């Protein structure tokens, strides 16, 4: 069912941050930083995959994501919802169900046998595709998924994520230069604000995280091994 009533974007951001903290999808560690896929250190880590195990939170956030996309892009803007392998697949299915639209998914690379396909499901010329993922950092991984979608003859100018880092200024330009508009529910700034309000972490950790969020590249360079 398509939701037709929803909070303001600011309240959705606050509630999304609160839910991520509640299920402990947010990890902060200033003394022993996490290593990201890029190999760089970070005092923050977010695990949106945990959401699939919490039905009430999962359902609420998918309502939020659906209405955010429809409000920003249009109620009839899409006729196909695509998930990015692998984390985006369950969320794409849930959004597609709410919007009563077909669902497909995009592989990170061709499967290497059979049809050697990157797109699973029906997609082609005339389709207007929304790419759904769990999160985005600098937007880079979205470009490959969108290119694969466009090779089918479909159009894809929008991607929707639950969580957007919101700390790398080049992200939206990178996506925009590729003809992609980003829709998201919350950022690290929203999580930091809610973490402060709820005393979810100690003050020293939150201060270090805020230092990272204000200058992430400098913070990483200073601690790079």
pLDDT value at residue 130: 98
Q: Where are the domains of the chain?
A: 11-206
Whether 1 shows a pLDDT value over 60: the answer reads no
Number of other CB atoms surrounding residue 82 within 10 Å: 32
Q: What is the pLDDT of residues 45-65, one digit of tens each?
A: 999 999 999 999 999 999 999
Give which of 38, 21, 48, 59 is closest to 216, Cα–Cα: 38
Four-way CATH pick for 11-206: 3.40.50.300, 3.10.310.30, 3.40.50.2020, 3.40.50.720: 3.40.50.2020
Q: What is the pLDDT of residues 88-106, one digit of tens each?
A: 999 999 999 999 999 999 9
pTM (predicted TM-score): 0.94
Local structure of residue 33 (DSSP, 8 states)? P
pLDDT value at residue 3: 61
């Amino acid at each position: 069912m398509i939701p037709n009533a929803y909070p303001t974007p600011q309240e959705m951001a606050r509630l999304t941050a609160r839910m991520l903290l509640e299920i402990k999808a947010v990890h902060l560690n200033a003394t022993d930083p996490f290593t990201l896929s890029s190999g760089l250190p970070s005092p923050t880590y977010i695990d949106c995959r945990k959401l699939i195990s919490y039905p009430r939170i999962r359902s609420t956030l998918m309502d939020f994501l659906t209405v955010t996309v429809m409000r920003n892009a249009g109620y009839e803007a899409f006729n196909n919802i695509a998930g990015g392998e692998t984390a985006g697949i369950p969320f794409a299915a849930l959004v597609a169900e709410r919007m009563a639209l077909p669902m497909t998914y995009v592989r990170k690379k061709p499967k290497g046998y059979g049809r050697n396909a990157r797109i699973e499901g029906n997609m082609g010329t005339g389709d207007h595709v929304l790419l759904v993922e769990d999160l985005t950092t600098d937007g880079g991984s979205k470009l490959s998924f969108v290119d694969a979608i466009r090779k089918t003859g479909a159009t894809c100018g929008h991607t929707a994520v639950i969580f957007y880092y919101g700390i790398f200024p080049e992200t939206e330009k990178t996506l925009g230069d590729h003809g992609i508009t980003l829709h998201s529910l919350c950022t690290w700034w929203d999580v930091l604000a809610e973490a402060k309000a709820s005393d979810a972490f100690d003050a020293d950790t939150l201060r270090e995280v805020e230092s990272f969020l204000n200058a992430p590249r400098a913070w990483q360079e200073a601690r790079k091994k």
